Structure 1
Amino acid sequence: MKSYISRLTNFFAAILIALISMPLLAGLTYANTGFSALVIEPDTGRILYEYNSNEARYPASLTKVMTLYMIFDALKHGQVNLNTSIVFSQKAVSQQPSKLGAKLGETIPLELAIKILVVKSANDVSVAVAEKLSGSEDAFVIQMNNMAKKLGLQQTNFTNSHGLPSLKQLSTAHDMAILASRIQKDFPKYFHNFSVTSFVYNDKVTETHNRVMRDYYGATGMKTGYIRLSGFNLITTATRSNKRIIGVVFGGKTAKDRDEFMTLILDKSFEVLLNSRNKKMRIDIAVNPDIIVVHPSVQAQIDAQKATQKKQVKTAITPPIKKQVKTAITPPTKNQVQPPKASSQSSAKYSIQVGSFKEYKNAQAQSHSAIKILGKGRARVASLQNGYHRALIDTFNQQSAANACSKLKAKDVECLVIRQ
C-alpha cells in the first residue's frame, strides 16, 4: 500500500513540477521539454526514422511554415498577389525579435515578406501578414487552426502566427512532417521560397542561418525554429536520385547539435532508400543525451522546486500509467514527458500504422496480418491523394498503441503510433 501511494505521489509531483517549472525555464538557456525526430518519404508515407514523433513539443518558428501555407493559399485563390502591400501596425512593430525592425506604417511587398519569413523568421512581418490576410492576428490564428485540422495535423494548436512563447502553442514532429509534405505538394509554384538564402531590405543583405538547407547535398529547403522552451528545431526537405524525404528535429541543445543530427538521419535515410531492397527497413540511431542534456544550473533549480512542491501534491483518484510521465527536464527516453497537451490523453484514441502501399489490397492484407500478431484491433485502410494506401489498426489508447507497436517491431513489422 505504501509503495502504491508513493508511486501516486511521485506521479502527480512530476506533473505539478513540470507545469510550474515552465515559466521559470522560459528564462533559461537550455531546452528542457523533450527531443523528437522523424524522417519520412512523403511520396509513399514510409517512415525511415522515428523518435518520439507524436510527443507534443513547442514548434517555435516552425509555426511560420503554417503562416506561409496560409499565404500561398491566399495567393493561389487570388486573395492577394506578390505585389500586395504589407503594412506594419503598432502590434506588428511591437513584436519581440527576431524582427525586421520596420517602422509604424511602413509597407513592404508580399514577395519580400515571404523571403523575410523564411530567411530571418521575422515576427513583426508575421503579424503584419496575418493582419493583411485576415484583418487581425486573432482571426488569422483561427484560420490557421481550421487549416491545421483540414490538413490532418491532429496534435497541433496555434495561438499566434510566429511561434513566440505560448504554453498552448503545440505540435509534433509527425504533424510538422505532414505540413511540410502538404505545402510541398499543394504549392509547387511557391515552394522554391523555402530555399531562399538571402534578401535585401534598405540596401542591407541578410543571409540565412539555415545551414542544413544551404549546405546539405540534395536539400531543397524548409525552416528553422528556436525559443528557450523548445530548444533548436528544424524541418528539412531533400531529394537525391528522385527520392524525396522530409526530416524534422525538435529540441536540440544547440543549433550545431540539431544540424548534425539532422544531417545524420537524412544521410542514413537516403542510404536505406537508395541501397536497400528491404522496403520496411528503418535506420536505427540512438539519441546522444549530450545534444539535449540539461545544464547543471537548471537541474539544481528544478531539484529545489521538487523539494518545495512535493508537499503540495494531493492524493490521486486514479493510479498512474506505468512509466508514462517523468520530469520534463531529464534526457530523452522512450517514455519522456510531454509539454502540456491541448486535450486529455486518457480519453484520446490512437491508431497504429503498419505500412503504406500502392495497392489497396496489400494495405488491407498488412493490417490483418498485424492483427494476427497482436491478437486484437480493428483493421482499416486510409487512401491518400497520392495513390498510396496506409494500413492501419484502430481501437487503442496511447499506452496500448505504444505497446502494440513494440510487439510488432519485434517481429520486423513497420509501425507508427498515430493519434486519431
Structure 2
Amino acid sequence: MLGSAPAAANSKYAGIVVDAKTGKTLYAHDADELRYPASLTKMMTLYLTFEALERGKINLNTRVKFSANAAKEPPTKLGIGAGKTITIEQGIYALVTKSANDASTAMAEHLGGSESKFAAMMTAKARALGMSRTTFRNAHGLPNSAQVTTARDMATLGIALREHFPRQYKYFSTRSFTFGKSRFGNHNRLLGAVRGVDGIKTGYTRASGFNLVSSVVDRDRSIVAVVMGGRTGASRNEQMKDLISRYLLKASTRGRGNLVARGAPANVAVAGLELPKIGPIPSNRHQGSQRLALAYATPTPEPVVGRAALVNSLNAQKIAIPTPAPALVPPMPVETASVDTVDPVTTASTSATTGWMIQIGAMPDRNAAIELLTRAQGDGGSALSGTEPFTMAYAKNKEQLYRARFGGFDGQAAATNACNSLKKKGYACWATAN
C-alpha cells in the first residue's frame, strides 16, 4: 500500500495529505470517493461534544446516563450497565483511547435526545463545515450502509477540530485512560512513535478496512493526513508513516491557518424544534491543488469609544444566551455587564435600542475574538451595517473567555437575517434578546 499508487494493492484504499497552514492538497488518492468512516465517526461526536462545552450546555463533570440502548452496544465498549453514569470528561477519554461504542451512544443521547436526532445534528454540522459527501447515521461508526464519508471530508473534520477547539484538542494525544480498575491504551500507535504526531483517531470495521486520521505538527510545518481502507492495522500505519515522511517537508512554513470556518449550529429536533433538512449529497470532486476555502477580511478596528453607553444598554437588556435544547440542559445565567467586561471595538453609536444582538463565538483570547468579529464584519456585508461589534468577558470554570457579539439590530428580523447571512459564510451565529 506504500507509495503514490496504492490502489493496485488495495481497491478500498483512499488517502489525502493537506497542508494545515494553507489548505493545499499535497497528496490525494481517491480522496473524494465514498468510504465507510468506522470509528472516525467519533471525531464528529467529539466535535459536537466540544461545541456543547464551549457553549456552556454541559461541563466536564456533567453526568451522562447509559440507556439500555447504549449499554447493549457491541465492543469495543466500557461495559457500563443501563442506568449507570459517567462524566462527560470520562466519555471523551473513552472515545479517544478505547473508542468505546457504548459511551458514544450515551453521549449522543444526552446531547441530542436520541441517537437518530444526534446523527442528524452530525450530518448538519458536516454540511456546515463543508463536508459535502458525508452522512452520519450513528454516533460510533458501527456498520450502516448509509453512513459514508471521504478522505477529504475527514481531513476537513480533523483540521476543524484543531482550529475550533484548541483547548479540547489535547485529549486526542492521550496515551492511556484509567477507568475503575482498567487501563485503556490509545489505539493510535503513531503517538509517541512518529515525530510530531499529536492525534487524531483510528477506525476499523470489516467493510471499511483500517482507517486513520493523523495530525502532525513539527516545528514550523503542519499537516493533516488520512488513510482509509488499510488491509491491516500495521499496513495502514506504515502507509501513514510514508505519507508523513514524504509530504511534511513539502508543507508551507507560512500560512494563517483558520482554514475551516466555524459551522452554523445545528437546528436540533429536541423539545419541539425542527430538524435541519439534509439534501442529497452533491458530487464534489476536487483537483489536487484545491484549498479549503475561507475568505479573509482585514478591516482594522477603530479606537474604542462609547463604552458606558453600551454597558448601560446591555444591563438594561439582561442578555442571556438561549440554548437549543432547553428540555435537556439548564439555561445559562443572566449576565450583568460592567465597564470591565464590555469591550466595544468600533467607533459607531453604541446604543442598542431594541435589545437584539447576535453572538458568533466565544474565544479564550480577546484578540482572537476581535479577529473573529473583524472577519465576520467583512463577510457580513450590509446585514451588519450600523451594528456594533464588541467582546464580552466572562469566567467559565475559573477561565476567562471572550464572547464575540454584534449589537444594535433594529428588531428580531434584522438580527435573524444577519445570522442567516453569516451562516452562509460558515459562521456559527444565533440571535438573542431579553
Gaps of 5+ in 2: 1-8, 255-278, 296-371, 376-434
Check the 8 A contact 2:221/2:249 in 1, yes or no. Answer: no
> Against the structure 1 CA distance between its residues 33 and 137, is the aligned structure 2 distance closer, same or farther, given a 3 Å change threshold?
farther
Counterpart of 1:133 in structure 2 is: 111
Residue 250 (structure 1) aligned with residue 228 (structure 2)? yes
- 2:145 alignment counterpart: 167
Separation (CA, whole Å) in 2 of partners of 1:349 and 1:177: 15
- 1:152 matched to 2:130? The reply is yes
Aligned pairs, how many?
267
Counterpart-to-counterpart distance in 1, 2:291 and 2:103:
39
Q: Specify the code of the residue in structure 1 equivalent to 2:189.
A: R
Tell me what 1:181 maps to. 159
Aligned to 2:187: 209
- 1:219 equivalent in structure 2: 197
Measured against aligned partners, the alpha-carbon deviations of 1:27-46 in whole angstroms (never above 9, x if no partner) come to xxxx9861101011121011
Asked whether the 8 Å contact 2:132–2:284 carries over to 1, the reply is: no
Output the CA distance in 2 between the equivalents of 1:63 and 1:157.
10
Q: Which residue of 1 aligns with 2:52?
A: 74
Q: Is the 8 A contact 2:32 2:286 kept in 1?
A: no
SS of alignment partner, residue 213 of structure 1: coil
| Aligned counterpart in structure 1 of residue 97 of structure 2, from 108, 119, 125 | 119
**Alignment of structure 1 residues 20-419 onto 2, 5 Å:** 34-273=12-251, 348=283, 350=285, 352=287, 354=289
> Structure 1 residues 357, 71: closer, same or farther in 2, change over 3 A?
closer
CA contact (8 A) 2:19 2:252 kept: no
For residues 167-221 of structure 1, give each alpha carbon's deviation from its aligned partner in whole angstroms, at most 9, with x where no partner exists.
Answer: 1100000000000001100000100000011111112211112101231111111
2:222 partner amino acid: R
Shift of 1:147: 0.6
The residue type equivalent to 2:98 in the other structure is: K
- CA change 1:70–1:53 in 2 (3 A) is same
Q: Shift of the alpha carbon at 1:143?
A: 0.7
The 4+ residue runs of structure 1 with deviation greater than 2 A are 271-275, 342-345, 348-360
**Distance (whole Å) between structure 2 residues aligned to residue 209 and residue 192 of structure 1:** 16
> Could you tell me which amino acid in structure 2 is paired with residue 220 of structure 1?
D
Q: Identify if the C-alpha distance between structure 1 residues 81 and 243 changes in structure 2 by more than 3 Å, giving closer, same or farther.
A: same
- The structure where helix makes up a greater share of residues is 1
Contact 2:19-2:223 at 8 Å conserved across structures:
yes
What code does the residue aligned with 2:42 have?
K
Match of 2:400 in 1: none
The CA deviation string for residues 4-43 of structure 1, in whole angstroms up to 9 with x for no partner, is xxxxxxxxxxxxxxxxxxxxxxxxxxx9861101011121
Tell me how far apart the structure 1 counterparts of residues 200 and 281 of structure 2 sit (CA, whole Å): 31
Judged with a 3 Å threshold, the aligned counterparts in structure 2 of structure 1 residues 355 and 173 are, in CA distance, closer, same or farther, namely: closer
Q: Displacement of 1:135 after TM fit?
A: 1.2
Q: Percent identity?
A: 39
Unaligned runs of 5+ residues in structure 1 are 1-30, 278-341, 361-384, 388-420
Cα displacement string for residues 312-333 of structure 1 (whole angstroms, at most 9, x for unaligned residues): xxxxxxxxxxxxxxxxxxxxxx
- Secondary structure of the corresponding residue to residue 133 of structure 1: helix
Change (3 A) 1:163 1:33: farther
Give the match for residue 353 of structure 2. none
Q: Which amino acid aligns with 2:72?
A: S
How far did residue 243 of structure 1 move?
A: 0.9
State the Cα distance separating 1:344 from its structure 2 match. Answer: 7.9
Cα deviation digits, residues 252-283 of structure 1 (max 9, x gap): 000000000000101111232379x9xxxxxx
Equivalent residue, structure 1, for 2:426: none
- Partner residue in 1 for 2:322: none
Preserved contact between residue 32 and residue 231 of structure 1 (Cα < 8 Å): no
AA of the residue aligned to 1:171 = T
1:48 deviates by 1.3
The one-letter code of the counterpart of 1:253 is R
**Whole-angstrom distance in 2 between the partners of 1:86 and 1:243:** 38
CA deviation vs aligned residue, 1:268-299 (integer Å, no higher than 9, x gap)? 11232379x9xxxxxxxxxxxxxxxxxxxxxx
- The aligned counterpart of 1:400 is none
| Shift, 1:49, TM fit | 1.2
Q: Give the partner amino acid of 2:172.
A: F
Question: What does the per-residue CA deviation read over 1:349-393, in whole Å, with 9 as the maximum and x for residues that have no partner?
Answer: 656464559999xxxxxxxxxxxxxxxxxxxxxxxx999xxxxxx
Q: Is the CA contact (8 Å cut-off) linking 1:234 and 1:248 kept in structure 2?
A: yes
What is the one-letter code of the residue matched to 2:154?
Answer: M
CA contact (8 A) 2:162 2:169 kept: yes
Name the SS for the 1:103 alignment partner.
Answer: coil
What is the rounded CA distance, in whole Å, between the counterparts of 2:122 and 2:16 in structure 1? 23
RMSD: 2.8
CA distance in 2, matches of 1:349, 1:206: 38
- Contact residue 41 and residue 140 of structure 2 kept, 8 A: yes
1:78 counterpart letter in structure 2: G
Aligned AA for 2:247?
S
Cα distance change of structure 1 residues 352 and 88 upon mapping to structure 2, 3 Å threshold = same
Kept in 2, the 8 Å contact 1:72–1:190? The answer is: yes
TM-score by length of 1: 0.60
> Are the aligned partners of 1:33 and 1:57 in contact in 2 as well (CA < 8 Å)?
no
Report if aligned partners of 1:37, 1:249 keep a CA contact under 8 Å in 2: yes
Instruction: Give 1:182's aligned amino acid.
Output: A
Distance 1:112 1:357 in 2: 33
Q: Whole-Å Cα distance in 1 between the matches of residues 101 and 95 of structure 2? A: 8
TM-superposed CA distance for 1:83, in Å, is 0.2
Partners of 1:151 and 1:356 lie apart in 2 by: 14
